[in-house]
């Protein structure tokens, strides 16, 4: 985990409404949330020295899509858990090949995400 | 109107929105995120959607009125609208967007065009019904009551 006890999450999605929904859910768990509106911004956050325990990654975004961003993060040696959350069910293979740990289909199912967070030991 | 009557009216309206297919289960997922720390969460998220979807539909109609329609741009708008409508459980809007994209994938331009008016209509219906729902919520809270939660 990143240096503090609080789980640090990077939410990567070009849709402000989606980011708002994820933020509300994750704040309930006491997580610390940072947002990025596309893959390139997400990668830059890590390049700038920020550390995150978990990345929620959309797929279709401007400048850099989620698969490319995931591949870039793994190429940089970033070990944060990456959960792809996308409406594109055909992108599961691409995401997992790029190094994502889990794949969820949109719209977000709270129970499905909570189960993944528990499996990652981010929740009791 | 007393609180219990307001609550009944609210429940009836919400039930009808599910029965008519205007809302789906995702709306209940959103309601689960509303609590004392986020009392206006659903209203806030749906209001964001009204703004966003309204803008996208205006852009769509404007694009279709051009002499040379940029269908790639139009499809991108519909993709965005499909995603945001799915996020909040706006089922009929999501469904029309899905139909549009199926026509787009088949290069059926007439089919795409035929989706625009239904999309606008579904959005206006959705907006009007959800605004009525939120107005009832405000009345319930003002009368000292709590918002009935939907179990689905």
Q: Does B89 sit within 8 Å of A17, measured CB to CB?
A: no
Query: Is A33 a member of any domain?
Result: yes
Segment A11-70, tens digit of pLDDT: 999 999 999 999 999 999 999 999 999 999 999 999 999 999 999 999 999 899 999 999
Domain containing residue A44: CATH number? 3.40.50.2300
Q: Does pLDDT of B125 surpass 90?
A: yes
**How many folded domains does chain A comprise?**
1
> To the nearest whole angstrom, how far is the Cα of B102 from the nearest Cα of chain A?
14
Q: Does pLDDT of B152 surpass 70?
A: no
Segment A90-99, tens digit of pLDDT: 999 999 999 9
Residue B68's pLDDT band, with cuts at 50, 70 and 90, is confident
For residues B118-124, give the mean pLDDT: 97
Q: Which residues lie below 8 Å from residue A21, measured CB to CB, with a gap of 6+?
A: A108, B30, B33, B45, B87
Q: Which residues lie below 8 Å from residue B52, measured CB to CB, with a gap of 6+?
A: A16, A17, B80, B84
Q: Which residues of B touch A109 (CB under 8 A)?
A: 29
Contact A71, A99 (CB under 8 A): yes
Q: Percent of chain B having pLDDT more than 70?
A: 99
H/E segment holding residue A57: strand A54-57
Query: Is A101 a member of any domain?
Result: yes
Query: Is A59 a member of any domain?
Result: yes
For residues B115-131, give the mean pLDDT: 96
Query: Is A106 a member of any domain?
Result: yes
> To the nearest whole angstrom, how far is the Cα of A25 from the nearest Cα of chain B?
6
Of B29, B41, B80, the CB nearest to A109: B29
pLDDT of residue B151: 65
Residue B1's pLDDT band, with cuts at 50, 70 and 90, is confident
pLDDT of residue A4: 55
What is the Cα–Cα distance from B5 to B3, expressed in whole angstroms?
5
Of A17, A107, A110, the CB nearest to B45: A17
Query: Is A121 a member of any domain?
Result: no
Of B52, B82, B87, the CB nearest to A21: B87
The segment with the largest mean pLDDT, out of B12-21, B31-40, B61-70, B140-149, is B12-21
Query: Is A123 a member of any domain?
Result: no
Query: A100: helix, coil or strand?
Result: coil
Domain that holds residue A71: 11-112
Strand partners, A84: A57, A103
Query: Is A119 a member of any domain?
Result: no
Q: Does pLDDT of B44 surpass 70?
A: yes
Name the closest residue on chain A to residue B91, using Cα atoms. A107
Of A17, A28, A108, the CB nearest to B84: A17
Q: Which residues lie below 8 Å from residue B85, measured CB to CB, with a gap of 6+?
A: B49, B53, B91, B93, B94, B97
Residue B23's pLDDT band, with cuts at 50, 70 and 90, is very high
Residue B56's pLDDT band, with cuts at 50, 70 and 90, is very high
Q: Which residues of A touch B87 (CB under 8 A)?
A: 15, 17-18, 21, 106-108
How many beta-carbon contacts under 8 Å exist across A and B? 48
Chain B interface disruption, residue of A30, A31, A89, A107, most B CBs within 10 A:
A107
Query: Is A124 a member of any domain?
Result: no
What is the Cα–Cα distance from B43 to B33, expressed in whole angstroms?
12
For residues B91-98, give the mean pLDDT: 96
The token duo for B11 is 């429940």
Pairing of strands A102-105, A54-57: unpaired
């Amino acid at each position: 985990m990143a240096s503090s006890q609080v789980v640090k999450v990077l939410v990567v999605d070009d849709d402000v409404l989606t980011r708002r929904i994820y933020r509300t859910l994750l704040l309930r768990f006491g997580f610390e949330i940072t947002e990025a509106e596309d893959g390139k911004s997400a990668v830059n956050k890590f390049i700038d020295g920020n550390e995150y325990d978990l990345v929620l990654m959309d797929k279709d975004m401007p400048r850099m899509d989620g698969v490319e961003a995931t591949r870039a993060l793994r190429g940089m040696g970033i070990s944060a858990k990456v959960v792809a959350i996308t409406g594109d069910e055909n992108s599961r293979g691409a995401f997992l090949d790029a190094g994502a740990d889990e794949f969820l289909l949109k719209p977000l199912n709270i129970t499905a995400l909570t189960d993944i967070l528990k499996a990652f030991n981010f929740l009791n | 109107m007393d609180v219990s009557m307001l609550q009944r009216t609210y429940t009836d309206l919400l039930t009808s929105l599910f029965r008519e297919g205007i809302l789906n289960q995702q709306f209940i997922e959103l309601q689960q995120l509303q609590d004392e720390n986020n009392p206006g969460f659903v209203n806030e998220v749906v209001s964001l959607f009204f703004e966003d979807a309204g803008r996208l539909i205006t852009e769509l109609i404007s694009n279709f009125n051009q002499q040379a329609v940029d269908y790639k741009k139009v499809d991108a708008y519909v993709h965005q609208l499909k995603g945001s409508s799915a996020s909040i459980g706006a089922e009929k809007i999501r469904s029309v967007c899905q139909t549009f994209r199926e026509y787009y994938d088949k290069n059926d331009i007439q089919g795409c065009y035929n989706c625009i008016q239904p999309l606008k209509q579904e959005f206006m219906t959705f907006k009007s019904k959800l605004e009525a729902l939120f107005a009832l919520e405000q009345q319930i809270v003002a009368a000292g009551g709590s918002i009935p939660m939907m179990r689905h």
